[in-house]
Amino acid sequence: MSRKWLSRQGPHALLARVSHPVRTVLPSTPMTSSTRLVSSCREREPVMTEEVRPREMPRQLKFVRVFLWIQAVLNLLVSVLVTGLAVDELNHGNEEAGLALALAVLGFVVAVVLVACAVRLSRGSPWVRPTVIAVEGLSVVMGVISLVSGGAVTQLGGMVIAIVIIVTLSKPEERAWFTR
């Protein structure tokens, strides 16, 4: 670059040649000797910024969202059934049904959390990823406890889904969706 080119193009041409994460432009007024000093002191206006987050939600996160909805609906249905059975047992004098009622209330809370996470997953809210990982981690732990204590083998299906969701949310592309 020669001095002649620089004086003809002005300092904004030099800035345009330098690659920065944020591109800047100077005012488009003609440069004279009196305005050069003033324009170099002015704040530069950002034109465009690089995006860290992908524009479209990754495909695997769409599957995670579907599984979150399925889990929320199943949690809600099971909680309704357990609540009905627990209330019936409590009405017949069985005080041990209080634990089942407490677990049903916990199921309702988990269902609400899963619905909130499924809704906000599309927007990439930063709190969704750790919340889903925590809920799915608890699901895996509860499934293992159930299997060890002689529970149903059907717990394996829920555990596999929870593990797949945790692994999916831990991948770099999916993790990038939640960063800003």
**Structural Rg of the chain based on CA atoms:** 29
CA distance 5 to 112: 64
Q: How many CB atoms lie within 10 A of CB 152?
A: 8
* Digit-coded pLDDT (tens) for 62-99: 999 999 999 999 999 999 999 999 898 888 888 888 88
pTM of the model: 0.65
Task: Give the domain ranges of the chain.
Answer: 3-49, 59-177
pLDDT (tens digit, 0 to 9) for every residue of the chain, 180 residues total? 555 544 555 555 544 444 444 444 444 545 555 444 444 445 555 545 444 555 788 999 999 999 999 999 999 999 999 999 989 888 888 888 888 888 899 999 999 999 999 999 999 899 999 999 999 999 999 888 888 887 777 788 889 999 999 999 999 999 999 885
Q: Where are the alpha helices (DSSP H) in 18-58?
A: 33-41
CA distance 128 to 116: 8
The CA distances from residue 172 to 72, 118, 136, 156, in Å, are: 26, 20, 19, 27
